[in-house]
């Protein structure tokens, strides 16, 4: 059964799986840039654009030093411009020009695909007040702050994946009109704040 969000721009046929397939089909060449990935999902709205850097921050690609911080900054910039209602966010060239090898990118997608297929089976419109336009801006702001948490958490191996997961769940919830998933994402965000306060020495 297809999932189609009613909100303009946030159109998803098969949730995460469809987004992954779109990214593979619409990109080509030996290298794939972050800018190219985000651009491919602009037409699908804020939630879809946030999924890209969040997913990169969870996949094995995040093991590369500096990648979690760059993903966090990208999430922040996309989210804050989303708060201001900009449907086509500006990102610094230094960020958009960062590339992943095609082989590493495809390996990451193949790794994520079975998990995406399982998750897609549970997404459905619920608690719609959490994904109304008035609440999306507040949630986008929260995503932006959560993205910045990836920077200090990169100092502790693998912990930066938690805020990335928080943004991923929240973004998917927005995109699929699933308020329960949005709440799950916000819960992970709270956990990320706790980790920064307890695990990172300031």
Let me know: does 147 contact 69? Beta carbons within 8 Å. Answer: no
Contact 15, 178 (CB under 8 A): no
Q: Measure the CA–CA gap between 143 and 71, rounded to whole angstroms.
A: 12
Distance, in Å, from the CA atom of 33 to the CA atom of 53, rounded to the nearest integer, reads 11
Are the beta carbons of 88 and 35 closer than 8 angstroms? no
Given a contact cutoff of 8 angstroms between Cβ atoms, the answer to whether 168 and 51 are in contact is: yes
The H-or-E segment that residue 1 falls in is: none
Report whether 99 contacts 35 (CB < 8 A).
Answer: no
Instruction: Spell out the per-residue pLDDT of the chain, length 202, in tens.
Output: 333 333 334 434 447 788 788 778 877 777 878 788 777 777 777 888 888 889 888 877 677 788 889 889 999 999 998 888 777 778 878 777 777 778 877 887 888 788 878 877 777 778 877 767 778 888 889 999 999 999 988 888 778 889 999 999 898 888 888 888 889 898 988 888 888 888 776 5
pTM of the model: 0.76
Residues facing residue 32 across a β-bridge:
100
Pair of tokens at residue 150: 């990836």
User: Strand runs (DSSP E) across 11-83, as ranges?
Assistant: 31-33
DSSP state at residue 60: G
């Amino acid at each position: 059964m297809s999932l189609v969000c009613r909100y303009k721009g946030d159109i998803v046929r098969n949730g995460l799986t469809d987004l992954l397939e779109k990214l593979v089909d619409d990109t080509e060449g030996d290298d794939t840039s972050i800018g190219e990935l985000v651009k491919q999902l602009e037409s699908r709205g804020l939630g879809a654009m946030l999924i890209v850097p969040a997913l990169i921050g969870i996949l094995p690609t995040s093991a590369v030093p500096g990648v979690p911080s760059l993903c966090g900054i990208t999430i922040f910039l996309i989210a804050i411009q989303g708060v201001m209602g900009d449907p086509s966010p500006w990102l610094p060239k230094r960020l958009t020009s960062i590339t992943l090898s095609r082989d590493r990118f495809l390996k990451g997608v193949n790794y994520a695909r079975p998990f995406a297929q399982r998750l897609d089976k549970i997404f459905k419109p619920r608690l719609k007040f959490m994904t109304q336009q008035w609440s999306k801006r507040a949630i986008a702001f929260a995503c932006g702050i959560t993205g910045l948490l990836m920077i200090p958490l990169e100092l502790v191996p693998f912990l930066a994946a938690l805020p990335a997961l928080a943004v991923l769940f929240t973004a998917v919830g927005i995109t699929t009109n699933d308020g329960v998933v949005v709440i799950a994402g916000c819960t992970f965000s709270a956990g990320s704040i706790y980790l920064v306060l307890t695990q990172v020495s300031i």
